[in-house]
Copies of this chain bind each other. A is one copy, B any other.
Amino acid sequence: MRSGQPTINDVARLAGVSKKTVSRVINRSPLLGPDTRAQVEAVIGQLGYVPNPQARALALRRNFLVGLVHDNANAQTVMSVQRGMLEGLRGTEFEMVVRPLDRDAATMSADLRHFLERQRLHGVLLLPPISEDDAVAALCAELGCRYVRMGSAPLDDAARSVASDDRAAVRSAVAFLIEQGHRRIGLIAGPPGFRSGTERRLGFEDALADAGLAVAEELVAPGRYTFASGLEAAERLLDRVPRPTAIFACNDEMAAGVIHAAHDRGLAVPRDLSVVGFDDTPTAAQAWPPLTTVRWPVVDMARAAARKLIATPDAPDEPALFPSALVQRRSVSIPAA
């Protein structure tokens, strides 16, 4: 302990045992004399010794780092995910590293491989839409990196997946709109290639089918999950005659765009148009009027995902499926006569 931290050698010397014994104490080896353990633990406490993560990483060929790999997702969502992961990691020796990826780059797969090979992370959480790519998961597996995929529907076995049931959630959200008396309901879809978009659209269709309603293609507009695309889609939808009395947007950003578009043409929400979003990001609460939306339990999923990533074989299982719920605010009312 000449300078800086005490090392395992210092502990071993002071405790009068070998390095390996100290290592066993740290790693909770079952085969250890109780007195030895107590003795070593005392010295550890007294010295304030903490194992050096770099040395461990080298010896174990595995870092005490958990990665968040995402591409292009919504900023609010990414922040919530980070919050959840850090909650799941709190009190452990793991840290979180964040790695955005450019899905459009031809080198995306190579970038990820390079990252994983070099950093030797303990595990990674894959966010949608990249989590939906089986090749990416296969790459993680090939490189011996644990992973958990987050999605709008289960993407893998329970140990490697956290998911919501977006289809069911949207189904009941749109059912709520129908209960309120809406019959002409517009849909702003998600971008192609997003599983969440597919699931949410299916939920929309389910609800209409449940009520014996047909899906009017003229009331379905494509979106890209951005505010601007929501605004644009809403303008198209609001041009239809007769106008839809309600619009379900596949995420809150687009729903905010819908509210914006309605205001722009002097339509009052919800009097002239009811709006429902999805995600329950802060955007939803801060829109005017506050947006009725479906809560996507992203913090809970991320927390569970982190725990799955660092779980030891004996740890209790974390849930893999998380319930969504309709958050009723003020953007929905009975349609005007």
Contacts and interface: CB of A to CB of B under 8 A. Distances in A.
Contacts of A273: none
Interface stretch (A90-98, A189-197, A306-314): A90-98
B54 A120 contact: yes
Contact of A260 (B114, B256, B286): B286
A55 interface: yes
Interface stretch (A31-39, A57-65, A160-168, A238-246): A57-65
A285 interface: yes
Interface stretch (A71-79, A131-139, A295-303): A71-79
A97 B97 contact: yes
Contacts of A119: 53, 95
Contacts of A86: 98, 100
Interface string A24-64: 00000000000000000000000000101111011001010
A231 B332 CA distance: 22
Given A65-B97, A75-B76, A76-B75, A50 B117 contact: yes
B288 A259 contact: yes
A181 interface: no
Given A98-B82, A259-B288, A285-B227, A118 B53 contact: yes
A282 interface: yes
A interface, by DSSP: helix, strand, loop or mixed? helix
Interface in A242-274: 253, 256-257, 259-260, 263
A21 interface: no
Q: Contact residue range for chain A? A: 35 or more
Contacts of A285: 227
Contact of A97 (B50, B58, B95): B95
A283 interface: yes
A263 B134 CA distance: 47
A204 to B, nearest CB: 24
A50 B118 contact: yes
A286 B261 CA distance: 11
Nearest to A56: B54
A98 B99 contact: no
Contacts of A82: 98
A283 B256 CA distance: 10
Contact of A75 (B5, B52, B58, B79): B79
Contact of A55 (B58, B83, B283): B58
Given A54-B120, A227-B282, 18 more contacts: A50-B118, A52-B118, A53-B119, A55-B58, A57-B58, A75-B76, A76-B76, A83-B100, A93-B118, A95-B99, A96-B97, A97-B97, A97-B98, A98-B98, A227-B286, A253-B286, A256-B286, A283-B283
Interface of A: 4-5, 50, 52-55, 57-58, 61, 63, 65, 75-76, 78-79, 82-83, 86, 93, 95-100, 114-115, 117-120, 227, 253, 256-257, 259-260, 263, 282-283, 285-286, 288
22 contacts: A4-B117, A52-B118, A53-B118, A53-B119, A54-B54, A54-B57, A54-B58, A54-B63, A75-B76, A75-B79, A75-B282, A78-B79, A79-B79, A93-B118, A95-B97, A95-B99, A95-B119, A227-B285, A253-B286, A256-B286, A257-B286, A259-B288
